[in-house]
Structure 1
Amino acid sequence: MTWRTELERAAARLREAAGAADRAERLLAEAAARLAADDTERRRGELARRLAAAAAGAATGWLGDDLRDTDPNTPVWTDPAATAAVRVGTALLDGAADGPEPAFPALVGLLGKGHLVCDGDAADPRVAGMLQSLLVRITAAHPNLELSLVDGVTLGQVFAPATALVDAGIAATVATDHLALGRVLTAAEKRLTELRDIAARGQSIADRPFHLIVVAGLPPEVGKSTRERLAALAHAGPSARCHLVLCGWRNLPHREALPAIEHATYLECGDEARLGNLPLPVVLDAPPPPALARNVFGSRARQRREAGELSVADLVPQELWTESSRDGLTTVIGRDQAGHTAGGDVAVSFDDATPHWLIGGRTGGGKTVFLLDVLYGLATRYSPDELELYLLDFKEGVSFTEFTPSPLDPSWIPHVKAVGVESDREYGVAVLGALRAELTRRAGLMKRAGATRLARLRELRPEVRLPRIVAVVDEFHVLFAGNDRLAGEAVAHLEELARKGRSYGVHLVLASQTISGIEALYSKKDSIFGQFPLRVALPGAKHLLDEGNDAAVESVGQAVINDAGGLKGRNRTCRFPDASSADELLATLRRDLWARRDSDEEPVVFRGFDEQHLAADPRFEALAPPTHAPRALIGRAVDVHMSTVGYRFDKSPGRHLAVLGTSIVAADVLTSAAVSLARQHEPGSVEFQIAATAAGAEGVARDLVEELKAAGHECRELEPGTILTAPRGKPVYLVWFGADGADGQPGTLRDLLLHGPAAGAHLIGWWRGARRFLDDIGGSAGRESCAGVVALNIAANDLAAITGGYERTWDARANRCLVIDRHAGGETLAVPYVRPGRLDEVVETR
């Protein structure tokens, strides 16, 4: 073998080795590449698992779960979510959305943290799905939530699945144009201001609902000012529990640059969605399954409705009369408007901080219902030894008849001492005067005991009954109508009670449509209403809250409660039950309370339109002979206790009684006087002389004669010309139906008036004309000859001429009389005794 042959063989072996090396190198490179890829995939997988675990911890349950895998029957949360993060989609580690590449939930900080801002709007199906999914998550996770929805792109279609939230009041009606958006922003700004004011005073707002404004797309008319308002709201919102999901926030050609949205995470929806600083593409969540959305929105709506469907039973404690009023009175009146446990029951108090209340609302706005809720709440918590009630209603209604006995139901609320239905102003002033007298009594007790507060006095004098007193005056402005003497008295009483009531346990509740325009209160408005820190604004309330605080609701069954005299920032809206629809429950409560009473003393009920009958007066039944100075009963006083009004007859000169007015009621007054006097004399010991010269009074006179004879009394009927004869040796009452003209014997009449009482002769006469009466008794010089006057329908100036007064505030009206005793120096407004059905007859003859 030659050297050339060996060389060729060696070259061949070398080439073979080189090829093997190349192959080995390639194999090693490929192996290395495969090893590197396996390590990266492992590490990426590990990273994805760690990120997913972190996301699961940051957004738990409803806030982070994949809604496609969530059972539609999963219950919504009843406790507020503890985390601020919420899922909006899925982040991909390598950007491939169509493979099994590692991924993890993409989260944003929202409620309790900040905002979400997206340049796309609901016209993009990706954004629409993300919004619907986000709304389901937030609603399911947060029971304490209020929503404002705005959609200027699909005109509300994107929020169609959430209709149940709108119906339940959790979300307002979807705003679809720039005007409605403006109203949403105004309401949000007002709410934000109130919560910031509360927080500035050091009070917690943690129990207030989150307010989430979801904008699916801005209406096309939105301008620079609206965008700036949105930016300002975003700036201040998180500190006041207000957050935004703002879609469609993008710069447009030939438009000014958008203001920055602070505290926000930005979502860009280009070919690939990008979230904030996350350097990865994001696949936004698809719309949730319809069944799941229906369950979440329907469950939350049912919870809100059930929480809002209150009854009086929800306000009543399980056990009656278990609480002490030593330091004040407290009752539950309703539930926070949020309607869930976070809002809770709303309780109000009568105490040193809120001694008196003002309640405002239009007719039909719920004042009566609200007052019934309050009164039943108090009466079931506190016994009559802890609480007394005085109730006045100045409108034509039956607000408080609920608390009094009736022919159909003899029970009553034992706390109630006096009730006025369609009350006279005089009755209202009398009640305020009685309460003021009670202040004076308690002030004396405190002074003698060395106490400065009611609670301390009750400790020092446990044997003295000292319940707290609540006086409710509905339509109280009627008290001050006319700016007259009565209005002045009412103002004086009210000012004293308002200033001193808290110290002595006397509390006022004044209810009306407005507190403005009351002339008699112009100079006292601040000194009086400044003592009423608790304000309850019902629909239609005017000037009740502070200027600029326009929080009064328009929905019947809701109230704005403000415990700072109406100042902004102290409002709380609550729902209260409709007591008027719980007749059976209230009747049961009333009977239960009545059965527990310690006394059979019924409340005094003043019904301004009711007749008064002599036979129904227990004081008439108690009359018996002999009586040294018999008292003719005339009617019932317009005072707290509806006292019996009478006129005494004795031997003093001038002890006669004149009834003045054209009304046939005068005949009934004469009859009541004579019958009541007859009960105070032994039969046969006195003579009654009856004269009837007034047309229309003959029947009444005959009935009186029969009644007196039936009682065993001597009774003589007189004819004209014989009326003014001298007495026959025994006491005589001359009852004269129609004394005008003095039977043609004015001199004899004047002699009887002057000398008759000393001889036991007294006149009870009816004059239809006041001027005629004055002439018959001898003019102004004879005023003292007849000390008793009962004024019916006579003019104030005629009455002034008879009494010698220069000014007279008497206002003649049906079913009222003014009883004057010149010797006693007293004037009493009264409801005269009449025969049953008399007022109906009077109305029919008009």
Structure 2
Amino acid sequence: MGRKVVEQRARVTHALEALRHRIGLALGAAGNAHSDAEHELTKLRLEQLVLSVGLDRAGTDSALAEYRGDPAMAAVLSWLESVRSRFYADWADGPDELRRLVASAAPGPAGRPPSEWLGKLGTEDGPASPGLWRIGEASVDGASVGRTPGTTLSFDVAVPLLDESHLSITSVPKTRATVDALVENLLMRVLSTFAPGAVKVHLWDVGQLTAVLPNFYALSRTSAVTVHDPTRLVDLLDELAGHIRRIHTQTMQAGYASLRALREATGKRVEPWRIAVLYGNGEDLAPEHLRDLKRVASGALAAGISLVLVDVPTVLGGSVETISLLDDRRAVTSMTGAGVEVRLDSPLPGGQVANAAARIAEAIVTRQGGPRSFADLLPTEFGQECSARELRTPVGFHEGEPVDVVIGDATPHALIGGPSGSGKTNFLYALLGGLAARYSPDELALYLLDFKEGVSFAGLAPGKKDESWLPHARLVGVNVNTDREFGLALLRFLSDEMRRRSAAAKEFEVTNIAELREADPNGHWPRIVAVIDEFQYLFAERDSVTAMATSLLEDLARRGRSQGIHLILASQDIAGIDAFWGKPAVFEQCTLRIAMPKARRVLAESNQAAVSAPRWHAVVNHESGVAHGNQLAHIPDASGKNTFPVLQRQLWQRYASHGRPRLFDGAVAPRLDELTAFTALAPGSSRPRALVGLSIEVADNAHGVELPAAPGRNLAVLGSSTAEALSVLDAATRSLARQHAPGTAEFVLGCAVDRCLDDVRALGDDLAALGHKAPVVPASELPALIAERAAQLSEADGECYLVLYGVDAVLPALEHKEPGRPSGLDHLRALLKQGPVKGLHVLGWWRGVARLKDTLGFGGTEDIGAWVALDVQGSELAAFCAGQVVHWAPRAGRALFFDRSTHASPEVTVPFHRPEADHA
């Protein structure tokens, strides 16, 4: 037992000794590895230090003084020397190759001596830019590259900039003049390469309010150079960020990843390059500014923006090259490495730079062409564009370049705002003119409505002085400030058209207007643009018109885009439209915003661009009013005399066959004899229709009462307005007369109002001239006439219309009753109740609702199948409107019409103008 214990202990002791040995070996190896790692780390740190100051200066640079006796330093220096020797041994042709490379990548002003280009205007206007821009030259000893020792071999040094890289410059004390010369050299090379206006420079200096690169002063008076407030770096960064977002949206929609790719694909420059030079002071920027700067830097190159940072300590995202000054002539760059000193180019002669800048500035002004005219907005050939995908036209100019308005799927609807006198109407003419000149009436249909008391669009319809019209216009409505119903009618029409197009799209199994036009090439599917000027009048009251208009407008705003229906809503002031601010869908869909000078609440709340916009300008924004979408445009005079009318006549001569637009002028009473609904009437109708007024709708229709042989088919005109009562009865009678052959109908004109007798007799004469029997019965004979006709009812044969003027004037006589005999009022009631079935219809005028009720008696309202209310309050009409509440306040030149056989609720009608009134 004891022996086993001893043997077991021996085995344990042996195992422990083996373990200690192995641990010792491991610790030794770890120590050696740690020592080797520390030695390697020291070598790497020393290597980094040497490379940062340059191999040639390592022996004298103060930063390396403490390491000169360190064996590791000797090893590092020896190794780097061997690497450089091997590199240059294989690089014997390196300097010459670099010189050829720079010459190829930096042609013209980008790399040539200033004497060859300074003061000359650039001509390059294409999509590409030089890959490199010269800043100086460097040299190496010939021995290091396998050449004759003592021979100096020099080569050009250039850095990338536009589309390629940002640039970070670090100075040393007393080198500000060198930095300015370096920046000025680069900028002048860029500005002298491209056509004037192709490059925009932004200058920001934390230490200077102005006088940043003073030789560029002449350019600062143009958009080529902008000097920014040193205390407002945020403004510059916001501007650059907004530009990046706008360019990103445009390029992505076009299917490209960057502005450079878009330029290369299209073969033309669509945006100027931008260079932002930021002078710091070596101190860190505020955290929020630094964050915004890095965000800008990450997307800037893709948007054509290059940053040049001077003494701004930060690490930018994306491609960045560095230039670190050693003194007032020498620098090292990331392009050549820390081991190669670059001798910076000498400063450009200040006077020559100032003169060159002045020449470029003058060329920019000349290139812009000064104020542009309306003619400059128009294409060389009319009607050449297709609207299948979108509508596009320039509306103005910014620095000589056209500013487009685009209406399509991305920007389906527009909101235009500006106070009185700000040029809103002129902008609308510029927009309409540009669109009409580019798209034929088969591509574009316009519906134009002006609510204010004016005739902004009246000239677009044929008039007395000018017979021409804008062929694209299908509807022109003016002076409709009191006719909110007309705006509602337009929205209903557009809603019906949207449903029609949607049904067609379903039939062809497509989803939008572009696909529908492709699937149905023989169909007529133009894009529709509805312009509603002073649209806020639609929502002026808290009533059913406002509620319905809001609902329709919201639906059109949401769904109209896919069916090619676009809204342009214009207003002087939209601040008080309560109905809309509760319906954000409409404004959200109005992604195109046009703000005239001093306009409020059109752009985004934080976007104050319109406040500072000069006269005759507009802020065009396709990004829902967000600041980065701003484009300032000078709008030419499009509404002056002999401007738009010249274009309209040219278009009219070209497209007159497309037909004239419907003109609705709320300030002018319509003429019956000019109405298609009247001129189309002819004898032979089994259901004669008495026209009473013009209906307020998009189509040129009239309100009318059908008078078949059926109970209740009588017409009552209610109110004390003599002129309008005469108009309604005159139109009703004349329209009925056109539907009967001469001698087949009788018109009995009973006048109880003496002052109307002449007008009634004139009507009777006209009816007689048409071959109709039309006796005129004065007030004294009316009771007898009514009694006679009532007695003949059972024997009635043929059509008879009893037209009574001022029935209430003879009520006392009609109410007289002799014992045992019916009164005249009983006879009249009998005619109203039984006459229509026998072919006798009463068309009567009562000067008050109560008087009509007295005439009809209890339960007699059913005998009046239709009525026209003039100066009568809606609250009085419930009894004649199936008990429903009638919202109606009388207004001049308008009436309320209701026919219980066809209407669910009363509708506003416009009484016709009577020619006799012109001679009254």
Task: Quote how far apart the aligned CAs of 1:287 are.
Answer: 1.5
Name the CA distance, whole Å, in 2 between partners of 1:177 and 1:451. Answer: 55
- 1:699-749 Cα deviation digits (max 9, x unpaired): 645654565566665432413574563346793533314635724424344
Structure 1 counterpart of 2:165, which letter? Answer: K
Name the CA distance, whole Å, in 2 between partners of 1:333 and 1:235. Answer: 32
The answer on 1:292 being equivalent to 2:356 is yes
- The residue number in structure 2 matching 1:734 is 803
Aligned 8 A contact 2:171 2:324 in 1: yes
Task: Quote how far apart the aligned CAs of 1:606 are.
Answer: 1.5
The answer on 1:184 being equivalent to 2:236 is yes
The answer on 1:279 being equivalent to 2:341 is yes
Instruction: Determine helix, strand or coil for the equivalent of 1:82.
Output: coil
- 1:212-265 Cα deviation digits (max 9, x unpaired): 234578899x98568747864785475454444456x49xxxxxxx66778364
Name the CA distance, whole Å, in 1 between partners of 2:575 and 2:478. Answer: 24
* 1:68-87 equivalences in 2 (<5 Å): 68=115, 70=117, 72-79=119-126, 82-83=129-130, 85-87=132-134
The verdict on how the C-alpha distance between 1:473 and 1:229 changes in structure 2, with shifts beyond 3 A counting, is same
Name the CA distance, whole Å, in 1 between partners of 2:515 and 2:125. Answer: 44
Structure 2 counterpart of 1:662, which letter? Answer: S
- The residue number in structure 2 matching 1:693 is 753
Aligned 8 A contact 1:366 1:538 in 2: no
- The residue number in structure 1 matching 2:379 is 316
- 1:472-493 Cα deviation digits (max 9, x unpaired): 4444444344453233433454
- 1:308-344 Cα deviation digits (max 9, x unpaired): 94745545362x445555x44443335896866xxx8
Structure 2 counterpart of 1:798, which letter? Answer: E
The verdict on how the C-alpha distance between 1:113 and 1:458 changes in structure 2, with shifts beyond 3 A counting, is closer
Instruction: Determine helix, strand or coil for the equivalent of 1:137.
Output: helix
Q: TM-score, normalised by structure 2?
A: 0.70
| Pick aligned residue for 2:548 from 466, 489, 492 | 489
- The residue number in structure 2 matching 1:775 is 854
- The residue number in structure 2 matching 1:253 is none
Structure 2 counterpart of 1:210, which letter? Answer: W
- The residue number in structure 1 matching 2:832 is 753
The verdict on how the C-alpha distance between 1:553 and 1:80 changes in structure 2, with shifts beyond 3 A counting, is farther
Task: Quote how far apart the aligned CAs of 1:78 are.
Answer: 2.2
Task: Quote how far apart the aligned CAs of 1:639 are.
Answer: 0.9
Instruction: Determine helix, strand or coil for the equivalent of 1:797.
Output: helix
The verdict on how the C-alpha distance between 1:815 and 1:158 changes in structure 2, with shifts beyond 3 A counting, is same
Structure 1 counterpart of 2:779, which letter? Answer: E
Name the CA distance, whole Å, in 1 between partners of 2:892 and 2:174. Answer: 71
- Greater helix percent: which structure? 2
- The residue number in structure 1 matching 2:669 is 611
Aligned 8 A contact 2:533 2:569 in 1: yes
- The residue number in structure 1 matching 2:200 is 146
Aligned 8 A contact 2:374 2:643 in 1: no
Aligned 8 A contact 1:121 1:153 in 2: no
Task: Quote how far apart the aligned CAs of 1:783 are.
Answer: 1.2
- 1:131-165 Cα deviation digits (max 9, x unpaired): 55554333233453233234676753455654554
Aligned 8 A contact 2:397 2:635 in 1: no
The verdict on how the C-alpha distance between 1:825 and 1:155 changes in structure 2, with shifts beyond 3 A counting, is closer
Instruction: Determine helix, strand or coil for the equivalent of 1:433.
Output: helix
Task: Quote how far apart the aligned CAs of 1:797 are.
Answer: 0.8
- 1:764-813 Cα deviation digits (max 9, x unpaired): 3333333333233325x221222221112221211224424332233432
The verdict on how the C-alpha distance between 1:120 and 1:479 changes in structure 2, with shifts beyond 3 A counting, is farther
Instruction: Determine helix, strand or coil for the equivalent of 1:292.
Output: helix
Aligned 8 A contact 1:89 1:285 in 2: no
The answer on 1:430 being equivalent to 2:489 is yes
- The residue number in structure 2 matching 1:538 is 595
Name the CA distance, whole Å, in 1 between partners of 2:758 and 2:247. Answer: 75
Aligned 8 A contact 2:445 2:474 in 1: yes
Q: TM-score, normalised by structure 1?
A: 0.75
The verdict on how the C-alpha distance between 1:117 and 1:698 changes in structure 2, with shifts beyond 3 A counting, is farther
- The residue number in structure 1 matching 2:843 is 764
Aligned 8 A contact 1:130 1:287 in 2: no
| Pick aligned residue for 1:356 from 392, 395, 412 | 412
Name the CA distance, whole Å, in 2 between partners of 1:410 and 1:370. Answer: 24
Name the CA distance, whole Å, in 1 between partners of 2:525 and 2:249. Answer: 39
Aligned 8 A contact 1:214 1:245 in 2: yes
| Pick aligned residue for 1:333 from 394, 408, 427 | 394
- 1:792-844 Cα deviation digits (max 9, x unpaired): 22212112244243322334322221111224446432111134697999xxx
- 1:35-82 Cα deviation digits (max 9, x unpaired): xxxxxxxxxxx9999877665445432234443554634444323662
Name the CA distance, whole Å, in 1 between partners of 2:626 and 2:306. Answer: 25
Instruction: Determine helix, strand or coil for the equivalent of 2:259.
Output: coil
- The residue number in structure 1 matching 2:705 is 647
The verdict on how the C-alpha distance between 1:52 and 1:322 changes in structure 2, with shifts beyond 3 A counting, is closer
* 1:651-662 equivalences in 2 (<5 Å): 651-662=709-720
Aligned 8 A contact 2:607 2:626 in 1: yes
The verdict on how the C-alpha distance between 1:602 and 1:162 changes in structure 2, with shifts beyond 3 A counting, is same
- The residue number in structure 2 matching 1:421 is 478
The verdict on how the C-alpha distance between 1:219 and 1:632 changes in structure 2, with shifts beyond 3 A counting, is farther
Structure 1, unpaired ranges of 5+: 1-45, 95-100, 251-257, 842-846
Task: Quote how far apart the aligned CAs of 1:635 are.
Answer: 1.8
The verdict on how the C-alpha distance between 1:186 and 1:284 changes in structure 2, with shifts beyond 3 A counting, is same
Structure 1 window deviating more from structure 2 (482-491 vs 113-122): it is: 113-122
Structure 1 window deviating more from structure 2 (823-832 vs 126-135): it is: 126-135
Task: Quote how far apart the aligned CAs of 1:435 are.
Answer: 3.3
Aligned pair count reads 765
Structure 2 counterpart of 1:754, which letter? Answer: K
Task: Quote how far apart the aligned CAs of 1:463 are.
Answer: 5.7
The verdict on how the C-alpha distance between 1:51 and 1:358 changes in structure 2, with shifts beyond 3 A counting, is same
- The residue number in structure 2 matching 1:817 is 895
The answer on 1:211 being equivalent to 2:274 is yes
Structure 2 counterpart of 1:688, which letter? Answer: V
Name the CA distance, whole Å, in 1 between partners of 2:807 and 2:172. Answer: 95
Aligned 8 A contact 1:693 1:720 in 2: no
- 1:410-439 Cα deviation digits (max 9, x unpaired): 222333322222443322322332333344
Name the CA distance, whole Å, in 2 between partners of 1:238 and 1:386. Answer: 39
Q: Percent identity?
A: 31
Instruction: Determine helix, strand or coil for the equivalent of 2:495.
Output: helix
Aligned 8 A contact 2:171 2:179 in 1: no
- 1:612-653 Cα deviation digits (max 9, x unpaired): 122333443454557655433322110111302223444444
Instruction: Determine helix, strand or coil for the equivalent of 2:877.
Output: helix
- The residue number in structure 1 matching 2:689 is 631
The verdict on how the C-alpha distance between 1:494 and 1:241 changes in structure 2, with shifts beyond 3 A counting, is same
- The residue number in structure 1 matching 2:6 is none
- The residue number in structure 2 matching 1:830 is 909
- The residue number in structure 1 matching 2:72 is none
Name the CA distance, whole Å, in 2 between partners of 1:55 and 1:457. Answer: 55
The answer on 1:389 being equivalent to 2:446 is yes
The answer on 1:785 being equivalent to 2:863 is yes
Name the CA distance, whole Å, in 2 between partners of 1:759 and 1:322. Answer: 63
The verdict on how the C-alpha distance between 1:513 and 1:83 changes in structure 2, with shifts beyond 3 A counting, is farther
